[in-house]
Amino acid sequence: MSNVFIAFQKNEDSRAIVEAICEDNPQASVNEQPAMVRVDVPGRMVIKRSSIEERLGRSFDLQEMQIHLITLTGHIDETDDEFVLEWRH
Partner 1 sequence: MDMKVNKKLGLKERYNLMTRDLAWTPTYQAVKDVFPYTEYEGIKIHDWDKFEDPFRMTMDAYWKYQAEKERKLYAIMDAFTQNNGHLGVSDARYINTLKLFLTGVSPLEYMAHRGFAHVGRQLAGAGPRVACLMQSLDEIRHAQTQIHSLSNYNKHYNGFNNWRHQHDRVWYLSVPKSFFDDAISAGPFEYMIAIGFAFEYVLTNLLFVPFISGAAYNGDMGAMAFGFSAQSDESRHMTLGLEIIKFILEQDPDNLPIVQRWIDKWFWRGYRVLTLVAMMMDYMLPKRVMSWKEAWEIYAEENGGALFADLARYGIKVPKGWAQACADKEHLSHQAWNVFYNYGAAAPFHTWAPSEKDMEWLSQKYPDTFDKYYRPLWEHYAAEQKEGKRFYNTTLPMLCQTCQIPMFFTEHGDPSKVAYRESTYHGMKYHTCSDGCKEIFDNEPEKYVQSWLPVHQIYQGNCFTPEANPGAPDFNPLAEVLKWYRMEMGRDNLDFEGSQDQKNFAAWRAQASGN
Smallest gap from Cβ 51 to partner 1, in A, equals 18
Residue with Cβ nearer partner 1 (22 or 72):
72
Residues lying near partner 1 in the complex (CB under 8 A) are found at: 2-5, 7, 9, 33-36, 63-64, 66-80, 87-89
22 vs 70, beta carbon nearer partner 1: 70
As measured in angstroms, the least distance from the Cβ of 79 to partner 1 is 6
Closest CA to 46 of 12, 8, 6: 6
Alpha carbon of residue 7 to chain centroid: 8
- Residue 38, CA distances (Å) to 24, 58, 59, 73, 89 in order: 16, 24, 24, 11, 22
Q: Name the residue nearer to partner 1 (CB basis): 26 or 88.
A: 88
